[in-house]
Amino acid sequence: MTNKEKYNQVFMESFSVSSDQLNENLVYQSVPQWDSIGHMGMVAALEEAFDIMMETDDIIDFGSYNKGVELLAKYNVVI
Amino acid sequence: MKITGKENRQWSRLGSRATYGQAILMLAEINNDIMVLSADLGNSSGLDRFKSAYPDKFINIGIAEQNMIGVAAGLAKEGSVVFASSFAPFISMRAAEQVRMNMGYMDLNIKAVAIGSGLSMAFLGNSHFGLEDAAIMRSIPNMTVVCPADCAEIVKTVFAAAEYPHPMYIRLTGAVGFPVVYEDDYDFEIGKAVQILSGSDVSIIATGSMVYESIVAAKILKENNIEASVLNMHTIKPIDESALNLVINKGKPIFTIEEHSITGGLGSAVAEYTSSIPNSPTVNRIGLPDEFVVTGEYRYLLEKYGLVGDQIASTILKSLNK
Amino acid sequence: MNTNELLLLAKKSRIKILDLAFKSDGPSHLGGGLSMVEIFSVLYGKILKYNIESPEWKDRDRFILSKGHGVLPFFVALHYAGFISEDELYTYKKNESDLISHPVMNMRLGMESSNGSLGHGLSMGVGIALSLKKKSNLNSRVFVVLGDGECNEGSVWEAVMSAAHFKLNNLVAIVDFNKLQSDGNSETIMDLGNLEKKWESFGWEVCSLNGHDIEALVDVLSSLNLTDRPKVIIAHTVKGKGVSFMENNNTWHHNRLTLTTFDQAIEELNNS
């Protein structure tokens, strides 16, 4: 699986969204599952998938599907 | 309610409050009688998902904890199983008389849930700490006081509480990252202690967040070839006297450990019972001193007051003058 | 201080509040703090009588922050007033610090009471006001700031009733009416209805104003001339005032600044 496929899979599973929703409109609280609890689950799943530990600031700034791509680059994960 | 290690690790990452919210959401799927109250701390109790899934079963009473317990009494009298949550001092102290009249005295089916008890409120300080709550709640007749050891036990406690037709004070210690004690499913029963570790040299009895720290302490004691038993006494009232009898009969020093004042909590309950048994071993109470504590990060505070595994081990070693 | 100086103090205070919160490296009650900046600037910049050399001066005005979690504007006001030094200010939320998320009684630092549990401060204010009268201290007054959500607590109304009963014309309450509380907007959680009428029906003299209007605050607070009853100022405010993405955005009730949100907020304030 490529990094992008892994990234998308985490999003689809964490927030029960379909692949056509994986775009700039997918932002925090834009789907019911992306609430504070869902957010922590998604971050934990990404950390496990890419074997990284995200900093608190990045976890808080992680407000959208697109922003995630930008943030993961800081951990040498190229989506 | 069955639990698995994997679930427990996920809940642990969410922390005690969010786990309580998740437990209520799962409970609502199988129990139609529950009503869930909050005093303007619905979000802080992890109840967002429950609120949107079951809006007619959630009541926000605003910042009015005394009113919340009274309203809970009306709902319980009419047949609901009521869960009412807030921060520990606001329920157990501000609304203590409402708890006494409406829960104890009338034996109504209300579960007062204290979120963020112990020192977990960190920099919010003494106005928010729950360090005397078990002592106060335990002193009221008819009250059952339970302090879950980890997130899985929070879920088990919530489900057991729904089937236990009596007033309860459920004291949630720990924060985000509440350490896992149970890797596998186990029998949970209100009023019945759980044997975590057996060991014949010293008897540790712990509750809430201190169960995990006691396991850590026991490992260190083992390295000093001292076998420590660890008993999880999640129910501080009614205390499990048969379990205590077994501990007393071993004749080894007893150490109680709680993230609570040493005045009136688990230690006092164990000491009260043990002192009535002739030739019983000493009861050493490890907990918070009888003073208003300093403020800091949660972990810093646990270490400041000697409530972390390695400190507990050295306290026990020193006491056994090893 | 004149109005312009107070405006500058308010702007400076907002910037200091954000810097303090950011450097504390954890969540702070930013929304409900920013809504009270003008109130604190006017109180400590012009209205309150105090003496930083002798904080227990008997003729001082007594100030109680009943809305305890509003410490950010309080500590910053005490800093600019001279009670709290720059170094001590930045011990905020450091382990074992005297400056935590709620006031802890400390006369040296200008804090008359410990707060944090809501609905306690006004009762203490009533007691102090009563004592001042019995000691025939006609100079000192008592000022108590409450939150609007705090007015859900029954204990507040016990204090409100008793203050009128005791005809305490040396007691002033200020309610930070920002219409939001921890779980969301107050109207849907526990509707306070017409807050002015409630206080009035309990026998208080009521004044309603825009809590961010420095001139209005100065005008009312410098000409209290109370007759035989206490006075309440219902200050209509905006939670998170001064930072666009925080205004009326309740996720900032208790939240942590990141480098990005901090930089954005500071930039806005510098250009305001």
| Residue A40 sits at the chain B interface (C-beta within 8 Å) | yes
Instruction: Tell me the per-residue pLDDT of B199-208, one tens digit each, with 9 for 90 and over.
Output: 999 999 999 9
**The tokens of C89 are what?**
């200010």
**The tokens of B54 are what?**
């079951």
**The tokens of C177 are what?**
């009416």
Whole-angstrom Cα distance, residue B105 to residue B140? 9
| Residue C256 sits at the chain A interface (C-beta within 8 Å) | yes
Active site residue B7: no
C neighbours by CB contacts (3+ pairs under 8 Å) = A, B
Closest approach of chain C CAs to the CA of A70, in angstroms?
A: 14
Count: domains in chain C = 1
Sign of CA dihedral A54, A58, A64, A67: negative
Best of A15, A31, A36 to substitute, by most chain B Cβ atoms within 10 angstroms, is: A36
CATH of B5-171, one of 3.50.50.60, 3.40.50.970, 3.40.50.11740, 1.10.260.40: 3.40.50.970
**Is the predicted pLDDT of residue C78 greater than 70, yes or no?**
yes
Q: Which of A43, A57, A51 is nearest to A14 (CA)?
A: A43
Domain residue limits at C206: 3-271
Whole-angstrom Cα distance, residue C268 to residue C92? 24
Please list the residues that pair with B203 across neighbouring strands. B229, B254
Instruction: Tell me the per-residue pLDDT of B12-70, one tens digit each, with 9 for 90 and over.
Output: 999 999 999 999 999 999 999 999 999 999 988 889 999 999 999 999 999 999 999 99
Closest approach of chain A CAs to the CA of C257, in angstroms?
A: 8
Which residues of C are less than 8 Å from A57 in CB distance? 258-260
Partner-chain contact B21 A37, CB within 8 Å: yes
Q: Catalytic residue among B7, B29, B65, B97, which?
A: B65
Q: From the CA atom positions of chain A, what is the Rg in Å?
A: 11
ipTM above 0.90?
Answer: yes
Please list the residues that pair with A17 across neighbouring strands. none
For domain B194-319, the CATH architecture is 3-Layer(aba) Sandwich (3.40)
Which residues of A are less than 8 Å from C256 in CB distance? 56, 60
Q: Look at strands C205-210 and C231-236 and give their pairing.
A: parallel
Which residues of B are less than 8 Å from C114 in CB distance? 126-127
pLDDT score of B45? 87
Instruction: Tell me the per-residue pLDDT of C179-234, one tens digit each, with 9 for 90 and over.
Output: 999 999 999 999 999 999 999 999 999 999 999 999 999 999 999 988 999 999 99
Partner-chain contact A56 C261, CB within 8 Å: no
Domain of residue C56, CATH code: 3.40.50.970
pLDDT score of B314? 97
pLDDT score of B322? 65
Q: Whole-number mean pLDDT of chain B?
A: 97
Q: Where are the domains of chain B?
A: 5-171, 194-319
- For B261, phi then psi, to 5°, come to -60, 150
User: How is B179-246 classified by DSSP, letter by letter?
Assistant: ----SS-----TT--EEEE--SSEEEEE-TTHHHHHHHHHHHHHHTT--EEEEE--EEES--HHHHHH
> Residue C120 in contact with residue C154, Cβ under 8 Å?
no
Partner-chain contact A37 B52, CB within 8 Å: no
Best of B19, B48, B50 to substitute, by most chain A Cβ atoms within 10 angstroms, is: B48
**The tokens of B103 are what?**
């829960």
Q: Which of C160, C63, C76, C162 is nearest to C115 (CA)?
A: C63
**Closest residue of chain B to C94, computed from CA coordinates:** B296
Q: What percent of chain C has pLDDT over 70?
A: 100
Partner-chain contact A36 B21, CB within 8 Å: no
User: How is A51-62 classified by DSSP, letter by letter?
Assistant: T----HHHHHH-
| Residue B90 sits at the chain C interface (C-beta within 8 Å) | yes
Which residues of C are less than 8 Å from A39 in CB distance? none
| Residue C258 sits at the chain A interface (C-beta within 8 Å) | yes
Partner-chain contact B64 C102, CB within 8 Å: no
Partner-chain contact B125 C104, CB within 8 Å: yes
The one-letter amino acid at B31: N
Whole-angstrom Cα distance, residue C39 to residue C41? 6
**The tokens of C60 are what?**
């001082």
On the question of a common fold for B5-171 and B194-319, the answer reads: yes
Place of tokens 């998320």: C101
pLDDT score of A36? 87
Instruction: Tell me the per-residue pLDDT of C79-136, one tens digit each, with 9 for 90 and over.
Output: 999 999 999 999 999 999 999 999 999 999 999 999 999 999 999 999 999 999 999 9
pLDDT score of B144? 98
Given a cut of 70, the residues of chain B with pLDDT beneath it are 322
Superfamily of domain A3-16+23-73, CATH level 4: ACP-like (1.10.1200.10)
Partner-chain contact A44 B22, CB within 8 Å: no
